[in-house]
């Protein structure tokens, strides 16, 4: 295990980089999704990594959701969140000013 400081300043214990080698990972190797530069935020209540959009809303990190699906987690409700639309592909590539 290693310590990781989220974009919101939390210190959490995460897997080491060698555990996700060759895979996309919200911590060590994010995919090229449009939220990848938004700050990360760990939801301890849901065991979920979020990305915080410029409006302050937490959106589930797509790489974290993909990992959970790969390990067989029931994905029926994992992506449910209070959304302002920023995680939609409609906004892909948009630059925001707050």
pLDDT digits (tens, 9 = 90+) for 60-85: 999 999 999 999 988 888 888 888 88
Residue the block writes with tokens 């989220």: 6
Is the distance from CB of 41 to CB of 14 less than 8 angstroms?
no
Please provide the average confidence, as pLDDT, over all residues in the chain. 89
3-state secondary structure of 25: strand
Q: What percent of the chain has pLDDT over 70?
A: 90
pLDDT digits (tens, 9 = 90+) for 2-11: 999 999 999 9
- Asked whether the predicted pLDDT for residue 90 surpasses 60, the reply is no
| pLDDT at position 38 | 96
């Amino acid at each position: 295990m290693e310590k990781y400081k989220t974009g919101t300043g939390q210190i959490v214990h995460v897997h080491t980089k060698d555990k996700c080698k060759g895979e996309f990972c919200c911590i060590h190797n994010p995919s090229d999704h449009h939220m990848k530069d938004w700050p990360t935020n760990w939801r301890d209540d849901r065991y979920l990594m979020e990305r915080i959009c410029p409006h302050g809303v937490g959106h589930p990190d797509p790489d974290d959701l993909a990992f959970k699906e790969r390990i067989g987690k029931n994905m029926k409700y994992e992506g449910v969140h209070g959304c302002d639309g920023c995680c939609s592909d409609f906004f892909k590539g948009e630059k925001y000013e707050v």
